[in-house]
Structure formats: C-alpha cells, structure tokens
C-alpha cells in the first residue's frame, strides 16, 4: 500500500488513446485484450455511478444526529470512488475526455449555430443558444486544458494532474445531481483545478 501511494507522487505514463484501439496481435490476444478493456469500462462506469449516487446522497439527505450510522453508510462510497479515480487517473483521463467532451463539443456547436428546435425528439437539439454556448465553452476550454493527454504521445500524469482531473470529474458529476444555477460554481471550480494543473505543466516545461 505504501508503494502504491509513493508511486502516485511520481509522474506516470498516460495510456494513449491509440492504446485503446484494435492492434495487430493474434486474434486470441485481441479477444483477451478486448475482454479486459470491457471489464475496465464496466468498472469505470460503476465508479461513475457510485460517485454520482454518493454526491446525490451528500446533498439530498439532511443531517440526522439521531441516526449517525445510517448517515455514514452513504459516505464511505464517495471516498472509495475518489481513491479509485485518483489511482487510475492515467488510464481513464484520455478516454473520458475524448468520449464525453468530444461529442459534447460537436453537439453544442451545432446547437449554437443552428439554434433550438422545439419540436425535436432529441434533447440536445432543444437546448437554447445560451445554454449551448455555455456547454461549448465548457467542452472547448476543458479539451484545451487537457490536450496534452489526448495526443499520440500524451504527457505523463503527475500528482497535480491526478488531483485536478479527479476533482474535475467529481465536480462535473456533482453539477449533474444538483439543480442548475448560474453561474455553475462546481464546473467553474473543476475547470479552475484543470487550469492550475495546466499552468504547473507549462511552468515545468519552461
């Protein structure tokens, strides 16, 4: 355990997006690799659901001093999920950014240029231009701040990156489970963490 936490303080090679694509290995190795990758995706999805559920319980349940055990049952899941994300940041960061924010950027751009379609059965096509612009700015700035992880040779994941990306992920999920209010303070705080990590990265390269 001590070795794991010691490794967190050292820069870790980030798993590139091309490492998630189909390679030219024998078909048996490809099957095994595909099953392992599917297991990682399922585990990642479970961590996301666990985090969102914990955050919803965080804000939804009032403090009940007469039932401390029932109150604490919902709290241990959040630190567990955060710890898992912190340890595996170098694996999930490039995929999560490309998978979630890439399509979001394209859809927000289309919605902002074309305007809302009130009769459309697709939710994102009914989004007003102002909300589409907010989503466009959110996705664009986030991708720009994390572009170093999306390249063929991504930058190593440092401890600052781990903390910033994990906090950004938790803040984004927290923004989903709480009623939306402008300005979205959770999203802004998450992007601020990414900005601090980006400045630290640029400062080290200078």
Q: What confidence tens digit (pLDDT) does each residue in 65-96 have?
A: 554 544 555 567 778 788 888 888 888 888 88
Q: What is the pLDDT of residue 159?
A: 92
Nearest to 171 by CA among 200, 191, 201: 191
> In this structure, what token pair is assigned to residue 12?
């870790």
Query: What is the predicted pLDDT for the residue at 131?
Result: 82
d(CA 72, CA 66) in angstroms, rounded, equals 12
At 119, the pLDDT band (50, 70, 90 cuts) reads: confident
For residues 94 and 154, the answer to whether their CB atoms sit within 8 Å is yes
Query: What is the predicted pLDDT for the residue at 192?
Result: 93
Q: Is residue 9 part of a domain?
A: no
Number of structural domains in the chain: 1
Within-domain flag for 163: yes
pLDDT at 199: 95
Distance from C-alpha of 188 to C-alpha of 194, rounded to nearest angstrom? 10
Is pLDDT of 174 > 60? Answer: yes
Domain membership flag for residue 169:
yes
- Measured CA to CA, the distance from residue 156 to residue 10 in angstroms comes to 9
- The backbone torsions φ and ψ at residue 12, rounded to the nearest 5 degrees and listed phi first, read -115, 135
Domain that holds residue 120: 15-205
Q: What is the mean pLDDT of residues 89-110?
A: 83
Burial 5-29 (b: 16+ CB within 10 A, else e): eeebeeebebbbbeebeeeeeeeee
Residue 131 inside a domain? The answer is yes
* Lowest mean pLDDT segment, chosen from 130-134, 159-163, 199-203: 130-134
Query: 157 pairs with which residues across the strands?
Result: 12
Identify whether 6 is part of a domain: no
SS3 for 25-73 is CCHHHHHHHHHHHHHHHHHHHHHHHHHHHHHHHHHHCCCCCCCHHHHHH
- Calculate mean pLDDT across residues 127-145: 87
In a domain, 1, yes or no: no
Is 10 inside any structural domain? Answer: no
């Amino acid at each position: 355990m001590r070795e794991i936490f010691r490794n967190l303080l050292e820069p870790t090679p980030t798993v590139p997006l091309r490492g998630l694509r189909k390679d030219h290995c024998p078909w048996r190795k490809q099957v095994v690799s595909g099953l392992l990758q599917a297991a990682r995706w399922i585990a990642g999805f479970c961590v996301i659901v666990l985090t969102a559920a914990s955050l919803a319980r965080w804000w939804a349940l009032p403090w009940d001093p007469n039932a401390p055990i029932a109150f604490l049952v919902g709290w241990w899941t959040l630190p567990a999920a955060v710890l898992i994300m912190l340890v595996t940041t170098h694996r999930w960061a490039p995929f999560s950014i490309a998978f979630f924010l890439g399509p979001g950027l394209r859809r927000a751009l289309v919605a902002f240029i074309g305007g809302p379609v009130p009769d459309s059965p697709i939710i994102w096509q009914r989004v007003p231009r102002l909300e589409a612009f907010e989503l466009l700015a959110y996705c664009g700035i986030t991708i720009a701040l994390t572009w170093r992880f999306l390249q063929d040779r991504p930058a190593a994941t440092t401890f600052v990156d781990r903390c910033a990306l994990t906090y950004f992920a938790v803040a984004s999920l927290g923004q989903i489970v709480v009623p939306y209010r402008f300005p979205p303070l959770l999203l802004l705080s998450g992007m601020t963490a990414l900005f601090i990590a980006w400045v630290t990265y640029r400062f080290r390269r200078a």
